[in-house]
Structure 1
Amino acid sequence: MSKTLFKSKKSRRIAGSTLRYILLITLALFILVPVLWMVSTAFKTEAETYSPNPIWIPTEITLDSFKKFWGLYNFGTMTKNSLVACLGSMIICTACSCLAGYGVTRFHFKGKKTFMGFLLVTQMFPSVMLVVPFYSVLTKYHLTNSLIGLIIVYAATNIAFSTWMMTSYFKTIPVELDEAARVDGASSFMIFRKIILPLTVPGIAAVAIFVLINGWNEYMYSSVLISKDSLKTLTVGIVALNTQNQVHWNDMMAASSVSCIPLIILFLCFQKYFIAGMTSGAVKN
C-alpha cells in the first residue's frame, strides 16, 4: 500500500514538473520567436524580406541595413539624443526618489499618507491624456523642440513609481542605524548620504534601470514634443521607416536590433541589483 502511494505521489510530482516545463517553454517561445525573426530579417536582402515563403536563415547574409543605420538614416544622432534624454531623466528621478523615500520613511509630518496617495493616483492616468497638458506647459516656457523639455517629461512620468520603489526599499533598512548615528552627532543629511544611501544601491540600480528602459522605449511624447530632425529620438526614427508607400522591414529590424543592445547589456550587468530592488519590501522581517 505504501509503495503504491509513493509511486502515485512520485508520478504526480513528475507530471506536475513536466507541465510546468512545457508551460515555461511555450511562454519562452512566444518571446524568443519574434526576437529571432527580427534578428534574421535584419540580415536579409530586400528580395528575401518580401518573399512570400518565410525564410528563417538568410541564404545571402548582408550588412547593408546596418550600414544604413549609421549612414543614410543618421541613427547615430538619434541614439545620442535618446541617451541624453534617458540619462537626464534617470538622474532627476533617482535623486528625487531617494530624497523623497528617505524623508517619508524617516520623518513624521502632516500629509504624508496624502502625499503617497497622490503619487499613486498620478499613475492611474493614461499617458495619452497627458500629451496636451505637457505640450501646453512646455510651449509656454519655450521648451518644445528641446531635449531639456523631453527630460522633464520623462522624469515627471517616472518619478511617482520611482518614489514608491525607493520608499519600499528604505523601509527595509532599520531606523536604529539613524538613531545610532544621530547619537554620535551626525545630521540628518549626513546620515542619509554616508550611512543609508550606500545601503540602497540595489534600489537605486532598480530605479535607474526602470527609468532608462521606459525612456529608451518611449515614442509618444518624443514624437509630439520634438519636430526637429536633429533632436529626434531613436524610437521616432525607427517608426519613420514605416512610410506610406513602403515598409522597410529589413532596415527597421536592423535598427530595432541595434537599439536593443544597450538595454540587454545594461540588464545583464545589473540584473542582480534590479531584481533585488524590485523585490525589496515584499517580505517583512
Structure 2
Amino acid sequence: MNKKTWLGHKKKKCLGVLLRYLLLIVLALFVVVPILWMLSTAFKSEAQTYSPTPIWIPNPISFDSFKKFWKLYNFGKMTLNSLITCLGAVVLCVTFSCLAGYGVTRFKFKGNKQFMGFLLITQMFPSVMLVVPFYSVLTTYHLTNSLIGLIIVYAATNIAFSTWMMVSYFKTIPVELDEAARVDGASNFRIFWNIVLPLTVPGIAAVAIFVLINGWNEYMFSSVLISNDSLKTLTVGIVALNTQNQVHWNDMMAASSVSCLPLVILFLCFQKYFIAGMTGGAVKN
C-alpha cells in the first residue's frame, strides 16, 4: 500500500469515526436537552415560565415550586402511596418469578414450553385492554380504591416479563450444583434457598428495578382504579397540575424533577446488578 492510498484510507476512517460521534451527540441532545429544560423550568417563577423568549438560566432562582410540592399539593402523601405500591409489587414479582424460574429450569413437567409461551403472549396485549377486566375483578373482591388492589395490578402486569428474566438467569447456574447438594441430602427448597438463590442476586436486582420503574411511572391503572384523593399516586398528582384553565409548568417540572430523583439514585447505585441481570443468559459457555 503506497502512501497516497494509506492517507486516503485513514481519512475515510477518521471521517467515519467523526460521523459516528456526531450522530451520538445529536441523539444524546434529544435526551439531555428536555431534562435540562425540565430542571430549568422547575426553578423559574410563574412570570419567567410564560416569558415569550426562552429562559435557560432562571434569574432569580425560585424555590416556590418545590415548596408547593410538599405543602400545597400534598405530594408527600402521594410519594408515599407510590412507594408502598411499587415496593409491594416488587416483593410479589421477585417472589413468584424466582419460584417460577427455578421450577421451569430445574424440573421437567408437561407444558413447560407452553407455559413460557403463554407468559410471552400475555405481553403482546396493550395495557389499555386490561383496564376493564382489572376493574371488574377488583370490584368483585372490593379492592378498588385500595393500595392493595393497585399492588396486585402492578404485580400482574410485570410478573410475566419478570419470570422470563429470572428463567434466563437461572439457566446460567449449573444444574450440577443442585445434584451435588441433593447427594448430600438437601431438599429441593433448601437447594433453592441456600445455594441457587444467592447466586441470582443480579437477576433479582434487575427484576426489582424493572418493576419499581414501571410502577413508579405508571399512570393509567392508578388514575382509573383510585378515586380517593388520599390514595392517589405521584403520577396522578403531577398530571392533575394540567388543569382545564391553566398549566402550572414550573410546578409540574418541579414535581417531575423530584419524582425522577429516587429512580436516578437507585439506578446509579445498582446499575452493575441491573446490567448483569438484564444480560444474564445472553452468552452461552
Residues 23-45 of structure 1: per-residue CA shift (max 9 Å, x gap): 11111100000000000000001
Instruction: Give runs of aligned pairs for residues 55-94 of structure 1, distance below 5 A.
Output: 55-94=55-94
Equivalent position amino acid for 2:167 in 1 = T
1:251 match: 251
Equivalent position amino acid for 1:25 in 2 = I
Distance 2:222 2:86 in 1: 12
2:220 match: 220
Equivalent position amino acid for 1:240 in 2 = A
Distance 1:15 1:253 in 2: 40
Deviation of 1:11 after TM superposition, in Å, equals: 2.4
1:178 match: 178
2:146 match: 146
2:229 match: 229
2:29 match: 29
SS of the residue corresponding to residue 215 of structure 2 reads: helix
1:270 match: 270
Determine if the alignment matches structure 1 residue 164 to structure 2 residue 164.
Answer: yes
Deviation of 1:2 after TM superposition, in Å, equals: 3.8
SS of the residue corresponding to residue 144 of structure 2 reads: coil
Gaps of 5+ in 2: none
Distance 2:262 2:245 in 1: 31
Deviation of 1:14 after TM superposition, in Å, equals: 1.7
1:210 match: 210
Normalising by the residue count of structure 1, what TM-score does the alignment of the two structures yield?
A: 0.98
2:15 match: 15
Shift >6 Å, 4+ stretches = none
Distance 1:230 1:257 in 2: 22
Q: CA-atom RMSD, angstroms?
A: 0.9
Deviation of 1:280 after TM superposition, in Å, equals: 1.2
Equivalent position amino acid for 2:35 in 1 = V
Gaps of 5+ in 1: none
Residues 140-190 of structure 1: per-residue CA shift (max 9 Å, x gap): 000000000000000000000000000001111111111111111111111
Normalising by the residue count of structure 2, what TM-score does the alignment of the two structures yield?
A: 0.98
SS of the residue corresponding to residue 60 of structure 2 reads: coil
Deviation of 1:12 after TM superposition, in Å, equals: 2.5
Distance 2:132 2:165 in 1: 28
Deviation of 1:9 after TM superposition, in Å, equals: 3.2
Q: Could you tell me the percent identity over the aligned residues? A: 81
Deviation of 1:110 after TM superposition, in Å, equals: 0.4
Residues 85-122 of structure 1: per-residue CA shift (max 9 Å, x gap): 00000000001000100110010000111110110010
1:102 match: 102
Q: Which moved more, 1:75-84 or 1:275-284?
A: 275-284
Deviation of 1:59 after TM superposition, in Å, equals: 1.3
Distance 1:281 1:204 in 2: 14
